[in-house]
């Protein structure tokens, strides 16, 4: 893993702008909270390797293989988010020693249920532990990480989860929006 001149992580690591999934197409499902994301996006431009490349989001289904076709995936996910719910993301927390998360202070239970439901209906293997969050930065332990955490003090996002968006992640790292369901 390398760090560029701006202090951003580079290379084939999870969360990098470059593909990290074996050079095959993957799918991902996310929530883009309906909210004023300006402060979060400005923060991400400085501290998140994906800032400016991928809009602020809460990942519901991490990159997964899907061979059965877009239409079937769309059909299975339609109706997964039966009604909108309020979300509040805050409490900046360093996770796994390098990621900066805004934890779900409101809406976390609904996000977790949606995660479980999507994994169940798609037959995906579940991660050991799912923590409802939005990743807003990434730095290795040290002075830069401490600056990032201080800069995040008071950073929050309040809004509504109304839709589930599905993207295709191409082997070259491009993310292609496939569809949105509610």
pTM of the model: 0.85
**Closest to 24 measured CA to CA, from 62, 74, 65, 59:** 65
How far apart, in whole angstroms, are the C-alpha atoms of residue 25 and residue 11? 18
Token pair, residue 105, equals 């202070």
Number of domains in the chain: 1
**Sole residue written with tokens 């909210």:** 35
126: three-class secondary structure by DSSP: coil
Residues 6+ apart with CB under 8 A from 42: none
Read off the DSSP letter of residue 46: H
The number of angstroms, rounded, from the C-alpha of 57 to the middle of its chain's C-alpha atoms is 5
Question: How confident is the prediction along the chain (182 residues), in pLDDT tens digits per residue?
Answer: 333 333 333 333 333 333 344 556 899 999 999 999 999 999 999 999 999 989 999 999 999 999 999 999 999 999 998 899 999 999 999 999 999 999 999 999 999 999 999 999 999 998 778 999 999 999 999 999 999 999 999 999 999 999 999 999 888 878 899 999 98
What tokens appear for 93 in the block? 């927390």
Domain that holds residue 95: 2-181
Per the document, the length of the chain is 182
Beta strand ranges found along 20-174 (DSSP E)? 26-31, 58-64, 85-95, 99-106, 133-138, 157-161, 164-169
CATH number of the domain residue 37 falls in: 3.90.1140.10
Neighbours of 65 (CB within 10 A): 12
> pLDDT tens across 144-166, in order?
999 999 999 999 999 999 999 99
């Amino acid at each position: 893993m390398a760090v560029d001149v701006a202090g951003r992580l580079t290379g084939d690591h999870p969360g990098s702008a470059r593909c990290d999934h074996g050079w095959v197409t993957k799918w991902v499902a996310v929530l883009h909270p309906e909210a004023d994301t300006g402060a979060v996006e400005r923060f991400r431009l400085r501290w998140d390797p994906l800032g400016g490349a991928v809009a602020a989001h809460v990942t519901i289904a991490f990159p997964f293989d899907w061979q059965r076709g877009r239409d079937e995936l769309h059909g299975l996910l339609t109706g997964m988010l039966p009604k909108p719910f309020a979300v509040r993301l805050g409490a900046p927390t360093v996770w796994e020693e390098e990621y900066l998360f805004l934890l779900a202070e409101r809406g976390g239970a609904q996000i977790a249920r949606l995660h479980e439901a999507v994994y169940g209906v798609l037959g995906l293997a579940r991660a050991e532990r799912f923590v409802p969050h939005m990743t807003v930065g990434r730095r290795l332990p040290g002075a830069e990480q401490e600056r990032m955490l201080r800069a995040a003090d008071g950073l929050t996002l309040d809004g509504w989860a109304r839709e589930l968006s599905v993207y295709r992640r191409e082997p070259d790292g491009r993310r292609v929006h496939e569809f949105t369901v509610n």
